[in-house]
Amino acid sequence: MAMPEKRYVLITGGSRGIGAACALVCARQGWDVAVNYTQDGAAAQSVVEQVQALGRHAVAVQADVADEAAVIAMFEILDAGLGRHSVLAGLINNAGVVDKACRVEDMTGERLQRMFAINVFGTFYATRQAVLRMSTRRAAPGSNRGRGGAVVNISSVAARLGGAGQYVDYAASKGAIDTFTYGLARELATEGVRVNGVRPGIIDTEIHASGGQPGRARQLAATIPVQRPGTAQEVAEAAAWLLSDAASYSTGAVIDVSGGRSCG
């Protein structure tokens, strides 16, 4: 696949944690970067400045991925902004949330709506817009669109472990992401777009605090075969490889980055 010299990747939830680490690893590998966020514009701007310090173009763009209109508006902003410097050739669907630990019978409809709206629908919404721009099926003469690309979906080993007693909703949302990866990879296999996933294990980020357990990553170290939580950087390295041309024969693959914690 002939790719233009300057390419950018959109990273949803790029303002901190795994998304921020993806932004910096991708920038070091030559990508321009669009950093999506919802709440913390200052954190997203800090990531943008770190990417720019590496010599790449970068922009922060606010959108709740669960809001399809906001996602469409975000891509239009990027078309007119970062898209003047480089072509959209990558999407990392990283934005995701957990909720407080509880059993399934205690999960409210409101909780389930939010979980699936962000983790699943948000991934579909962003990917739809990316495919409209990347698929060679959509290529038009003289257009910047339709030159191919790669999508990486951030799943979780919870998709296989199930999250019993704590996060079955979250685990099921990540199971949906794995199925999405397998299906979309085949749908786009002849259209220049590769689709892969990464299943992180327990990674030391702020997501655990948002689920009411700030010390969770370190507390669970003894349950992980390698006896430590992973770092956002370790997940980002796998995502960036799947995004890169070095992974040109990989599509429909999901890599565990979990210190050996990957099944029952």
What is the set of active-site residues? 170
- Is position 66 an interface residue for ligand NAP (rule: CB under 6 A)? yes
- Is position 95 an interface residue for ligand NAP (rule: CB under 6 A)? yes
* Residue 24, SS3 per DSSP: helix
- Is position 40 an interface residue for ligand NAP (rule: CB under 6 A)? yes
Number of residues assigned to the chain:
264
Separation between Cα atoms, residue 22 and residue 193, nearest integer Å: 19
Nearest distance from residue 59's CB to ligand NAP, in Å?
Answer: 15
- Is position 207 an interface residue for ligand NAP (rule: CB under 6 A)? yes
Structure token pair of residue 157: 């080993």
Per DSSP, the residues of 213-226 read -TTHHHHTGGGSTT
Q: Which of residues 158-187 bind ligand NAP (CB under 6 A)?
A: none
Provide the sign of the torsion angle of the four alpha carbons 156, 157, 162, 164, taken in this order.
negative
H helical segments located in 16-144: 17-28, 41-53, 68-80, 109-116, 122-134
Binding-site member from 49, 187, 206, 245 for ligand NAP (CB under 6 A) = 206
- Is position 97 an interface residue for ligand NAP (rule: CB under 6 A)? yes
Total of residues contacting ligand NAP (CB under 6 A): 32
Which amino acid, residue 66?
A
Closest to ligand NAP by CB, 192 or 229: 229
Give the interface with ligand NAP as residue ranges (CB under 6 A): 12-19, 36-40, 64-66, 94-97, 118, 122, 154, 156, 200, 202-203, 205-207, 210, 232
